[in-house]
Structure formats: structure tokens, C-alpha cells
Structure 1
């Protein structure tokens, strides 16, 4: 077993799959005792019993992978897991700087595979794929009965090859055929712009995760912000689930003196290893980053590597934290490769802040707590179903929550479509100047999603951002 020598931060969905044998009284039971020849002999015995007697036949690798998942699951740690060869490759790709595909976000809703949105400038956008298009066929094969993972796998392929799609377009009621050539889709994790408020220039920089190229993107973005006259830096890691340690180390190091301890690693024996800032080999950061005021925006979705950054800035007095308490993930996973191509991700260390705080399950508290409209924490999704009065569904509850957040009170948010919900729908659609059937149909859900996105994109509604900007203005004014 070979170890990959990097620590990976991130929220990993632990796949808890195990083999469960249930004897129900109506099956055949045997009293044969299988003797074990050592600590792991019983595993071989169980394998022989299952392959030799089970009425449901499984492939050898399925049994082995089930056992591997079970061993990882019994640890009871949601961040320790077994990944198959395909899952491991997919995870690496999620943190990589680019990937090959058509550049479209797809979701599954009520058995339909719906396009959420094509990536700007991607092959899918150029081919004319639109939000709410329903995927019907991929290369001549229907998608009925497939999982989302299987659909994505069929769409992906080598750069330069093409995939033929048939989609149903609800707005026109027609099927559309298109051929899309796969290409490299850059994955950008850093966005930036100058926010000019009351004569002060604040450099805003958003970090969606700490990926392979995040430090390089950070260097380019901050260099541009400084050139444009940024007097302070506002770092937004809200919803950032984490990523690579080397990325957060470089980014933190750009704002701290060389040889500063920005975190500690604690192994199973309790031994501490300091993590120290050092100049990256290929990057040169603007020295102004070490002196200008810094505010970091975080929320409950800020986890792991995001918390390393906020913990370092807070403990070292380098930054002011605004928002809500972070997620609270204080462990580090090490990737260990297996001979079958799979990987075991195992929590091998705790990480501590510079003041040796372990924030696991507690998170990092803010210096200034500011709560948001609940609309900002909603996962906006595509819904292609229709619901009428007297029906009950989670999609109805989702719509009720959004309506309430937008100021149209349906009277309840439990998913039951009653008369008051219908009145809220009518008021909302009338205000949006959209035709309404009185039902929760595709037109309603599209209008609701667009309205919610517009609300969230309006900075005037972002109270956390407003408070962060206000603090920096106060700091820059010297008050």
C-alpha cells in the first residue's frame, strides 16, 4: 500500500455501504461452525460462505469492495471512507484545475434529468443547451432508469470526441437534437472585483474551494486588485467546503510574515507539528497583502481548509471574522492507495489553530455575528413537476420557504398545498408580471428560482457583506 504524501481537506460524503446478513426464520439455517485460522481468516470464510451459498450472486470485486466500505464505515468517522478507483478519480477531478466535458450542471428531479445551467462559454452553451432542458437520450440510448452518476459518466469522455443528446424543451414542447464536442472546462475557484464604497476601494475576493490551482489564481487576483487601488481585502469563504492544505498554506502565507505558524498538526500520539508559512516556489505575492486590513466572511458552510484560514487570521490578529460560526471540521485526511486502484481516505491527524485550539464540531466563532435571510442558505434547484391544491410534497415545502423568504407568506412551510399557499403564488406571479395557472407548474418554479437568484445577487440584500464593508470603511477611516 502506497501513501500519497499530501493532506486533503474537504467535506467527503462518507458512503456507508455494508453487507448485512439477516436470518428471518423462513430461510434455511445451518449449524456448521467455520473455524478461523487467525485474525483475518474469518473474512475469507465469510467470502466462501457467501459465494458458495448465496442465492443472490455477486461479482468477486463487489464483495471485496463491500467489505472495504464496511471497514471504513465501522470507524464511525464521516470523513474516513473507501473510494473505488472511479470514485477516487472523480474526487481528484473535483479539486483539479480543469476537467474535460461539455460544461453543464445536471440534476435529477422526480425521475427526470434536467439541465440546471450550461457553464458560460462552454461547449454546451455554444451548442444551445438551455436551463430546464430535460435529457431524454445520450448517443441514441434513453436515460430512463439510470442514476445521475451513470448519466454524467455517459456524457463525459475524451477531449475532441462528441456526444449526441436529445432533450425535451418544455417551453416549446419540442424535442431538440444536438451534437456537442467535449473540451477542457477550466475550474475557477477564485473570483475578484473592486467594491468602491464612500470613496474607499475594497478588494473583494471569493474562494469557492481550495483546489490545485487556487493559490495561483489568488496570486493573479490579488495582484490585479492591488494594481486597481485596493485599500483593504474582503475574503469570502461562505459555503467553501475546504480542499488542499498546500493551497490554504500559500494563501494564508501571502498575508502573514515568513516563518509564521498558521496551524498545527497533531498525530495519534498527541505530538504537534507546526505548519509554517514559507514563500511558494513559483509564486510571488504582492507585499501590500501583509499590511492592508483584512475581513473574512464565513458561514456554517465554511469548513476544513476554510477554517484553517479563518483560525489563522483570527488567532494571529491579522483579520476580522464576520458572519456566523463555521462548520467545525478539525481533522485531516490522508490518502492511501490500494492495489485495486481504490483509495482509503483516513483521518490521521487533528489540526489546531495557532493558539492550539481544536475547533472540531464547535467551529470558529465570528468576531461579529451577522445572520442572513434564510433564502441565502437554500439550495436553489430545478423542479419540473406540477403540484395542485390539496397535494403534499417536499417540493411544495421548498416553494413555500422561498415564497416566505421573498415576502409572500403562504401561512405554512410543511409541504401541504392549501388555499393560503395558492394566494401567495398568485401574489408572487402577479408581482413578477408572469401568467399563472394557480398551480406550482414549471413556469412558476422557473420564475421562483429566477426571483430568488436575483434577490441573492443584489448586494443590498446581503447583510453579512454590508456589515463587512462597513467595518472596513470604519477601519480605513481610522475611526
Structure 2
């Protein structure tokens, strides 16, 4: 009887230990159960799908789906997309200097960059690229086209193009060069008032901004006010958004980011190194101002350093971390939300301007004028041209371009009036 008791106790202990072991193993089984299901589906697709498909294609597709269902900004980057993303933020690349897009299935030049090989070769906005190195672009993707046009400095690329509104194609050989990705453009809008356009936030943005400000003030020229244009700026590097804000803020918090874990929380503040711009500032924003643009706009607004003019911003208040993978591809993963100095998240909310001013539709205005068009001398066939006027129209004078923009841009026009006459917070250096 005593023996049976011992056996029973031993059996009970074994069962108890077995239960513990089983309980410990169960979470592990639960963890890998979805992977078993995934493997089962992948085997079924490989063996029974109507068309041949590789395992790599299936895995890439699964990763794409996994990240897409998280949020709109987390994504998988193929090797080519990962390289292209690095180029877009690095500040320069080897190429000919054109922005291209797919328009109605045709590879179209959006614009040549000033003073680049493409510009000097006579490539124009609206040109359609028919062939690259003799290969038709008809079934070519935009990424493939970019890769074929870009290349090492000094090596030529052959293009077949057709000008807009023409039918006869022409060939041109363009020697590649190092093309800087210029993110800052500056022009004097009136004596003492500087218009600065930021179209992206890449590695060189703050350097370019400071250089533009320095160049303007050379020779003792006084900077009475600045208009910072962030319209249709989709963002870029967080570090550059902080540094651009720092140019205009002497002290205080610029932005804070908070992730899932406490160690991911970080606060970025102005350094106050004495080189800040102290004159009045107006910032132009619209629905295309996103991410890094909103960090700058939010910081300047919360500190009452600038007036915001235009329309409500996009509302992207999340931070993405780009993580490279071992095969050269990568993922872009949302890892944190950012908050303006007042502690406000603008995620899906956006930043409201101080002066809500919708952009006037100049195309509609022109259509109205066209409807009331009256017949004049210039409408007569074979009328004599005014050579003086024609020469004036063809000018590339930056001042004239600025005046033309001011005439058609109602938001910029208001910004100029505000920066000149409205009391805006400034600092004594």
C-alpha cells in the first residue's frame, strides 16, 4: 500500500511536471501557429496557382501586405526603391538633371534642372522620352527609366525625345554629371524682404537655407522680413526640420517624439547659438505641407515666432524609421508620433493657419477672360510682331519672375503685406 502511494505520488508529480511543461510550450506553439498557417498557404500557392510564381515574390508580397495594414506610411521598400529613397535624401546624384513622370503612359519630362546637362542639351518641359539607349520606354516603369538615365559622372546617355506639340523625334547624347538636389530657392520679393522656397527636407536643406540668408545680407544689405514657403513640401528628414526651425528660434522646444517605449521619447530644442534670423517671419502652408513641414510650422506658431498664411496642413504627425534588410531591401516603419511645443499632436488634424486664405484658381480666371476676349491686332494672321515686347517676354530675370509670381499668387501677396506691416514677434540678438 505504501508502495502504491509512492507510485501514485510519483505519477502525480510527473503529471504535474508534464502539465507545467505543456503549459510552457503552449505559448510557443501559439506563437508559431500563424507561421505554420502562412507556410501552408505559401505551399498551396506554389503548387496550385495557375501561373508560375517564385517564393521570393510571395514573401515580398506578404511583407508588403503586413506593413500596409498597419498604417498608410509603413511600407516595404524593394532594393531599387530603397536605393531611390537614399538618393532622394542624400542631396546629390549622378545623372543629367531632369525631373520625369509617367503621364498618360508616356515618360514625360516635368522640368530640366537649371544649368544641368539636360538643360544645356535643350531638353524642355513637356518633352516625351521615347527611347533610352535605343530601348523603347513604352513598357518601362518609372523606376527602370530613372535607373537607366542615372549613372556615373562623365558617361553619356543617349535619349530619343519628341518636343511637346511636335511629331518629329530627335536624338541627343547627354554627358552625365553630379546633380545637386536643390531644396532651397531664394529671391528678393521687395527691397529688404526675402522669399525662401523649401521644396523638401534633405541632408543639405539647412546648409542651403543659411547660405541663402548669408548671400542676401552680403554687403550690409538689411533683412527686414522673410517669407518661408512650405506649400506642397511633403517633408523629409526629421533632423533637418529641427535645424530649419532652429534658424528662426533662439531657444525653446521645437518638437518631441514619443514611441511605444519610454526610451523612444526624445525632445529637440533650439540651440540658441546667436546666429538666428530675428526679423519678422511669415510662413506659407497648404494641404500639401506635411510631416517635416508641419514640425517647422508648428514650432514657429507655438512660439508665436511667425504668422501662418494659407490653408490647413496635411496632418501627418507620425515618424517613420527606415530599417535596411540583409538583402538590400528595407522597411519604412512608423515608430513614433511627434508633438508640437505645446504638447499637441497634429496626427490626422493638421495645423491651422493664422490667416485662412484659399489659393485663387487662376486657370478659371483665365477661362473667364478668354470667354470675353475681343478681337485685336495680334489676332490677325501674319500680324507684325513687336520685337521689343518679344525680347522682354523671353527674359529670365529673377526679379521679373518674382513679380510675375507675386501677381498671380494671392497667398504670397498677403504674406508680403503681413511681413511688412503686421506686428510679428522678433528677437533682439
User: TM-score by structure 1 length?
Assistant: 0.71
Higher relative contact order (CA closer than 8 Å, sequence separation 6+): 1
> Does 2:208 align with 1:214?
no
Task: Give the Cα–Cα distance (whole angstroms) in 1 for the partners of residues 368 and 99 of structure 2.
Answer: 29
Q: Tell me the distance in 1 between the aligned counterparts of 2:101 and 2:164.
A: 16
| Offset at residue 129 of structure 1 (A) | 2.2
SS for the counterpart of 1:174 is coil
**Whole-angstrom CA distance in 2 between matches of 1:44 and 1:98:** 43
Q: Does 1:264 align with 2:256?
A: yes
- Stretches of structure 2 that go unaligned for 5 or more consecutive residues are 1-29, 382-400
Aligned match of 2:224: 231
Q: Which of residues 110, 113, 121 in structure 2 aligns to 1:116?
A: 110
Q: CA separation of 1:109/1:243 partners in 2, compared to 1, >3 Å: closer, same or farther?
A: closer
Deviations along 1:48-88, one digit per CA (max 9) or x if unpaired, are 2222222211223211111110111121x111111111101
Structure 2 residue 234 is matched with structure 1 residue 241: yes
Name the SS of the counterpart of 1:254 in structure 2.
helix
Which of the two has greater helix per residue? 2
> Counterparts of 1:277 and 1:312 in 2: how far apart (Å)?
10
**For 2:322, which of 331, 335, 349 is the aligned residue?**
335
- What CA distance in whole angstroms lies between the structure 1 residues aligned with 2:312 and 2:111? 31
SS in 2 for 1:149: helix
What is the rounded CA distance, in whole Å, between the counterparts of 2:47 and 2:228 in structure 1?
59
Q: Is 167-176 or 305-314 further displaced after alignment?
A: 167-176
* Gap change, CA 1:334 and 1:371, over 3 Å in 2: same
Q: Quickly say closer, same or farther: Cα 1:294–1:58, change in 2 above 3 A.
A: same
Residue 205 (structure 1) aligns with? 196
SS at match of 1:360: coil
C-alpha spacing 1:171/1:293, structure 2 compared with 1 (3 Å): closer
Contact kept in structure 1, 2:305 and 2:424, CA below 8 Å: no
Measured after TM superposition, the shift of residue 128 of structure 1 is 2.5
* CA-to-aligned-CA distance 1:343-387 (integer Å, 9 cap, x gap): 111111110110101111111111111121134xxxxxxxxxxxx
Change over 3 Å in CA distance of 1:432–1:323 after alignment to 2: farther
Asked whether 1:468 is paired with 2:415, we answer yes
Q: How does 1:394-413 map to 2 (within 5 A)?
A: 402=363, 404-408=364-368
Name the counterpart of 2:168. 174
Query: After superposition, where does 1:270-349 map in structure 2 within 5 Å?
Result: 272-278=265-271, 286-287=275-276, 289=277, 291-349=278-336
Question: What TM-score do you get using the length of structure 2 for normalisation?
Answer: 0.79
Query: How well do the aligned residues superpose, as a CA RMSD in angstroms?
Result: 3.0
Q: How far did 1:255 drift?
A: 1.9
| Unaligned 5+ runs, structure 1 | 1-34, 376-401, 410-422, 436-453
